[in-house]
Amino acid sequence: MLIRTGIGYNLTENNNNILLGYGYILSENYLGNTNQKERVNEHRIYQQFITKQNIKNVKIQHRYRFEQRFIEKDFKLRLRYFLGINIPLSKKEIIDKSFYLSGYNEIFLNTEKDVFDRNRLYGGLGFRLNSSLRFELGYMNQFLNNGNRDQINMVTFFNF
């Protein structure tokens, strides 16, 4: 389970945003090659900067995030960089009741030993119902130090 919230401020009308956020993550990690799971609670405070670009009707987003992670009784710092792209499948810009392609790559870097944490590569198909609500179905591969993890993502985006 992942719950994330934040308070942001638009530095410019459509292109630059800063945000201070909080996240709660409840993970159930498998222990070795068994079916047993270990529950891990994490509280996360983060700061981020987002900048957006448009090339014709293709939308590109860069996100820089700095996280302070409180994992059970441990404290860690992590940096993240996200590069995302949305390509509308209609001839005009993304409009209500339209489909689009979505893709991104995000790298996670720790500030201590084992600097490389993970890299996420994602591709999906989205449907924009209106300016506040959209849905996406996609495939993500996470490249980790000890292997890869494949997953199918079903995501709802709600903006208000």
Write the pLDDT tens digit of every residue in 25-39: 999 887 878 888 899
Span 96-101, mean pLDDT?
A: 92
Pairing of strands 16-30, 116-128: unpaired
Span 65-79, mean pLDDT?
A: 96
Residue corresponding to tokens 């409180």:
70
Q: What is the DSSP string of 82-134?
A: EEEEEEESSSSSS-SSEEEEEEEEEEEEESSSS-EEEEEEEEEEEEE-SSSEE
The SS3 call for residue 34 is coil
What pTM value is reported for the model?
Answer: 0.88
State the first-to-last Cα distance of the chain, in angstroms, to the nearest integer: 22
Q: Is the pLDDT of residue 91 over 80?
A: no
Q: Is the pLDDT of residue 85 over 70?
A: yes
Band the pLDDT of 92: cuts 50, 70, 90. Answer: low
Span 29-58, mean pLDDT?
A: 91
Over the chain, what is the mean pLDDT?
92
Q: In this predicted structure, which of 5-19, 92-106, 141-155 has the lowest mean pLDDT?
A: 92-106
Supply the pLDDT for residue 94: 60
Alpha carbon distance 23, 45 (integer Å): 6
Tokens describing residue 144: 């980790």
Q: In this predicted structure, which of 24-28, 76-80, 126-130, 146-150 has the lowest mean pLDDT?
A: 146-150
More confident residue, 1 or 138: 138
More confident residue, 59 or 34: 59
Whether 89 and 100 have beta carbons less than 8 Å apart is answered as yes
